[in-house]
Amino acid sequence: MNSEKQAKNQQWMYIFGAWLIAALSTLGSLFFSEVMELVPCILCWYQRIFLFPLAVILLVGLFPLDKNVVRYTLPIALIGLLFTVYHILLFYGLIPETMQPCTQGISCSDDSMVLFGFLPIPLLSLAAFSTIIFLLLKARKS
């Protein structure tokens, strides 16, 4: 009985952690676009598409705790991570210019992607998606 309760507690912590990061990232991303008026590039938009629902679905999975939420959110987070990795390769020039899909409109690889002069937004996205995935995997195992 007690160990089951403990396992549930742990699950809650992991899912809560994943939701916290998703919610913070969502608000942060909205702050960049709506308050600082940085226009999101196309790849940013794809990452946002797979980030925003996590903040909602994970929250639903916490009221009350439902382990199944991991099943539904993990694929979304993984797709988000794929876009992030692609964006990072592009940002650091590991994929040649000619291959990038966002030559029109807002560039995915210029200076506007860097916050406060040192923090690239794609790196923030990578940190967020990988931590969310890590926590969801932990929740699945516990």
Partner 1 sequence: MKKNNIIIATVVTMITIFAIATYVYNTKQVETKTNLATQNSSALIADHSPRKGNPHAKVTIVEFVDPACETCKDFHPILKDLLKKYPAKINVVIRYAPFHQGSDRMVAILEAARKQDKFWDTFDLMFETQSSWAIHHQARPDLFWNILKKSNLLDLARLQQDMNDPAIIKVIQQDLADGQTLGANKTPTFFVNGKPLPSFGYKQLMTLVNSELAANY
Residue count, binding to partner 1 (CB under 8 A): 14
State the binding string over 41-80 for partner 1 (x if CB under 8 A, else -).
------------------x--xx-x---------------
Backbone conformation region of residue 104, classed left if phi is above 0, alpha if psi is from -120 to 50, else beta: beta
| 31 touches partner 1 by CB under 8 A | yes
* Of 126, 1, 14, residue with least CA distance to 69: 14
**Cα-Cα-Cα-Cα dihedral of 19, 21, 22, 23, to 10°?**
80
Is residue 140 within 8 Å of residue 14, measured between CB atoms? Answer: no
Residue 114 in contact with partner 1, rule: CB under 8 A: no
Length of the chain as a residue count: 142
According to CB under 8 A, which one of 12, 66, 102, 112 is a site residue for partner 1?
Answer: 12
Task: Enumerate binding residues for partner 1 (CB under 8 A).
Answer: 12, 16, 20, 23-24, 27, 30-31, 35-36, 59, 62-63, 65
